[in-house]
Structure 1
Amino acid sequence: MSVRRFTPDGLPQPAPYHHVAVGTGTRHVHVSGQVARRADGARVADDLAGQVAHALRNTATGLAGAGATFDDVVRLTFYVTKWAPEKIHEFMAGVEEVAAELGLPAPMPPSSLIGVEHLFEPDVLVEVEATAITD
C-alpha cells in the first residue's frame, strides 16, 4: 500500500481523522473541490449533512476516474460556509452516511475543515478536495 496513516503519541486522540499520512509512490492524484451536484449540475441536497455526503460521493467518483480510492488518500480538505462548532454533528452525520458505501476509512485520512464565508454559489454549503498517492 502506498499510504500509511497514523497519529503519533503526543497528538490529540481519539480524533475522527489521523494526524499524519506518509505516501510513497510516484503517481499523485488531485481531485478538485467537489460539491453536492449531479453530473447534470442539479443540486442534490439543501442541508449540510446531505451536501457533505454527496460531495464525498463525487470525490469518490473523481478518485475512481484516476484509478484511486479513499485508501489512497493522504489528505482531505473540507470548506464549509458560515462554519460554527455546533455544526460538527450535522457535518459528521454526512460523513457517517456514506462512510461504508464509499470505503471511507475510520479514522479518516488527515483532514482539515476550513470555515469560509461563502463558496462559488450561494446554495453550496461544502466543498471537498482530495489528494491521493498511488503506485
Structure 2
Amino acid sequence: MSEPITRIPAPDGVAPAAAYTHVVTGSGRLVAVSGQLPLDENGTLVGPDDPGAQARQVFENIRRCLAAAGATFEDVVKLTFFVTDMAYLPAIRAARAAHIPDDRLPAASAVQVAALVRPEYLMEIEAYAVVAE
C-alpha cells in the first residue's frame, strides 16, 4: 500500500535529527488515528507503571487502527507522543522500532504533559498516515 511518501531527513540549513524525519510528504488519502492509550481490546490498562508495556500496547493499537483504514506503519507520516515524563521516550522508541525501521522514520513530536485523561496512563500517541489512492 505504500509509496507516494517522500522523507526529507535533513533539509538544507536544518540540523539532522536522530530519532525522526524532519519532513515527510505524500499524496493520497489521509488517515488520522486519534491518540491511543495503553488499553487492551476490553478497555483494560496494560502495564501499570511500565512504560515499555504501555508503549508496546499503544503501538499495537495504532497498528490495528491503521489496518482498519487500509494502512500500515509504512504509510505513517507523523507521530505525536504525549508523555507524562520524558524519561519514557526510550521505551516508546523501542516499541516504535518494532514497527518502523530507522530508514522509514516519520516526522514526530514529543510533548510532556502534566496529566492524561487518567493518572495511570503514562502516554498517548497519535498518528497520521497517507495511503495511495
What TM-score, normalized to structure 1? 0.85
Gaps of 5+ in 1: none
String of CA shifts for 1:8-63, please: whole Å, max 9, x gaps: 233222411101001111x1101011011101011111222221221111111110
String of CA shifts for 1:61-117, please: whole Å, max 9, x gaps: 110111101111111011001x34xx1xx42234324523x3x13152000001111
Question: In the alignment, what sits opposite 2:32?
Answer: 30
- Which of 54, 59, 62 does residue 56 from structure 1 map onto? 59
Give 1:31-46 correspondences, 5 Å limit.
31-46=33-48
Task: State yes or no: 1:119 paired with 2:116.
Answer: yes
* Residues 50 and 94, structure 1, Cα contact 8 Å, conserved in 2: no
* Residues 71 and 105, structure 1, Cα contact 8 Å, conserved in 2: no
What is the CA–CA distance in structure 2 between the aligned matches of 1:14 and 1:33, rounded to whole Å?
A: 24
* Residues 33 and 127, structure 1, Cα contact 8 Å, conserved in 2: yes
What TM-score, normalized to structure 2? 0.86
Question: In the alignment, what sits opposite 1:6?
Answer: 8
| Runs of 4+ with deviation above 6 angstroms | none
Identity %: 39
Task: State yes or no: 1:91 paired with 2:86.
Answer: no
* Residues 55 and 95, structure 2, Cα contact 8 Å, conserved in 1: no
How large is the RMSD of aligned CA atoms in angstroms? 1.6
What is the CA–CA distance in structure 1 between the aligned matches of 2:122 and 2:14, rounded to whole Å?
A: 29
2:66 maps to a residue whose letter is L
Question: In the alignment, what sits opposite 2:19?
Answer: 16
* Residues 49 and 91, structure 1, Cα contact 8 Å, conserved in 2: no
